[in-house]
Amino acid sequence: MSEEKNEKDKKNDEMMRKVRLLPDFVYDALLINEGISANSEIIEKYELNDEQKDKMLDLNLNIIFKELAIENLSDSIEQNLKVNKETASQITLDLFLKKFYLAASYFPGIEDEILRLGGEIPKEKPKKLGEQLLKREEEMDRIKEEEKRAEAERMADTIISKSVDELLKEFPIVGNQQIGSQESITLKTKPEPMKPLIKYWLEDYKEKMGYYNHSNIERVQYVYHDKNTKNMNEEERRQLNLILKSADEKIPLPYSTKSKKIDFSRIE
């Protein structure tokens, strides 16, 4: 039973692989929308039984996947559905007119086959392969332009590595970078709560811990046990610790001239 299931899964996977390789306009026209309705209409019209229905649908897929030439469809329907030659020709003509002509440019020679079977070329304009290819080319051009623009922006980004004190002197906007998602922090020197910005974190740190270079233990004490940091997550604490360590030990931090921020993602 397991082997049968595996075999069935393999067949389904293979069919889906083939479906993904189809042009979009073929998939849209033949495997959904009008194509489904055409199948149902033909099955009902010729009163096909379950076995004949399954055989016809299989032949449909063979045509769509180009595993069976359209000029051989009538003979295949006659043999597989076990119907007479005239009925096979009528089913084939209906399939050409009601289904496959919806994507006529995908089937070279379909108009000749329609005429050979005694039908008339539909007046309704089928979906064009050229239109689909043009749409895809336009989409590819758009994607390439976006990639070029992204690459240009990436190249325009310069990373400057300096201590937080040096960055604040050269790029004062660094002081306005927020560290932490809390709404505010309280400082002894401020009459009201302030946003958790780098400049205020440094001010609060120095006011509470002293205006000198601190040890790792002192920084950890502040980062993990101060009332302003109690609701921070680990990534926010990491960022704050790096800022404070840079102030204490002058370690360089990567400043992005593009985002105008310290890029913590570049620091392991």
- Kindly report, residue by residue over 2-23, the tens digit of the pLDDT: 556 567 777 778 888 888 888 8
Segment among 30-44, 64-78, 192-206, 242-256 with least mean pLDDT: 30-44
Check pLDDT > 50 for residue 177.
yes
Torsion angle, alpha carbons of 92, 96, 99, 101, to 10? 170
Cα 78 from Cα 88, distance rounded (Å): 5
Q: What is the pLDDT of residue 151?
A: 72
Q: What is the mean pLDDT of the chain?
A: 87
- Contacts for 268 with CB less than 8 Å, ≥ 6 apart: none
Looking at per-residue confidence, does 187 or 22 come out higher?
187
pLDDT tens readout for residues 77-130: 999 999 999 999 999 999 999 889 888 888 999 999 999 999 998 876 555 444
Cα 30 from Cα 38, distance rounded (Å): 9
Cα 250 from Cα 196, distance rounded (Å): 22
- pLDDT-derived band of residue 136, with 50, 70 and 90 as boundaries? low
Q: What is the pLDDT of residue 137?
A: 58
- Contacts for 81 with CB less than 8 Å, ≥ 6 apart: 48, 52, 55, 56, 88, 91
- pLDDT-derived band of residue 237, with 50, 70 and 90 as boundaries? very high
Check pLDDT > 50 for residue 57.
yes
Which parts of 46-128 fold into alpha helices (H)?
Answer: 50-64, 73-81, 85-98, 110-116
| Cβ atoms of residues 175 and 198 within 8 Å | yes
Q: What is the mean pLDDT of residues 157-176?
A: 93
